[in-house]
Copies of this chain bind each other. A is one copy, B any other.
Amino acid sequence: MSQRALQDYLKATYKLSGDDERPVTTSALAERLNVAQPSVTGMVKKLAAEGLMQHIPYQGVRLTPAGRRVAVETIRRHRIVEQFLVQVLGLSWDEVDAEAEVLEHAVSERVVNRMWEVLGRPDSDPHGSPIPPPHADLQESRDLCALSDAPTGVLLRVARLHERSPEALRYLAGLGVVPGGEVRVVERAPFNGPLMIGAGQALHALDAGMAQAIWVHAEFAG
């Protein structure tokens, strides 16, 4: 199995599984990885044979501790590379995801750890997602919730943007929605409709799907 495929499957499973490590369907993996469903079944079997996944046929997939470790290390490499591309090489933060998607499979542990040191051991990437120390686990979403689930009227601090498209990221940045920025849900349309959000002085309509990608700190007191 190529490192590339192995890491991509484990990473996707980890991301779809969430903090509570619920099982992931093969069709969800197929959609995320842009491959056909039978391709996923085949790969999943191999990864299970390697002891990286647990596969219950017709039910779903779950990472083993070993698989989880590989996934977390891959995500760590991705985020360090992103931060490095922005901070050291001066690439724009909305475009580094695609570069990192390739480089995360090519950088050695030694290189990525040197990058992390040169950056001053940052604890988050340009989109606000956490970077754990080497071999540590990921604290993905402690005290965070999606903007789509946040209460209205309260001033919220943006923690992370789970969004890959440069266009969408630039659009959000134009609205003032960046990690560390402040935002307020003014109104929420029914039936999972768009949100009206206040950022700075202005008021904007925001698609519900996009609101799911914006994670805010859950201490609403601030």
Contact = CB atoms under 8 A, between A and B. Distances in A.
A5 to B, nearest CB: 13
A149 interface: no
A88 B91 contact: no
23 contacts: A85-B111, A88-B88, A88-B118, A89-B111, A89-B114, A89-B115, A89-B118, A90-B114, A90-B118, A91-B110, A91-B111, A91-B114, A99-B108, A99-B110, A99-B111, A102-B106, A102-B108, A103-B103, A103-B106, A103-B107, A103-B111, A105-B106, A106-B106
Contacts of A105: 106
Interface of A: 85, 88-91, 99, 102-103, 105-108, 110-111, 114-115, 118
Contacts of A103: 103, 106-107, 111
Contacts of A115: 89
A89 B110 CA distance: 10
Contacts of A89: 111, 114-115, 118
A85 B110 CA distance: 11
A1 to B, nearest CB: 16
Contacts of A108: 99, 102
Interface centre among A88, A89, A90, A118, by most chain B C-beta atoms within 10 angstroms, is A89
A90 B107 CA distance: 15
Contacts of A111: 85, 89, 91, 99, 103
A124 B167 CA distance: 37
Nearest to A104: B106
Contacts of A99: 108, 110-111
A54 to B, nearest CB: 31
A104 to B, nearest CB: 9
Contacts of A118: 88-90
Contacts of A88: 88, 118
Given A91-B114, A102-B108, 16 more contacts: A88-B88, A88-B118, A89-B111, A89-B114, A89-B115, A90-B114, A90-B118, A91-B111, A99-B108, A99-B110, A99-B111, A102-B106, A103-B103, A103-B107, A103-B111, A105-B106
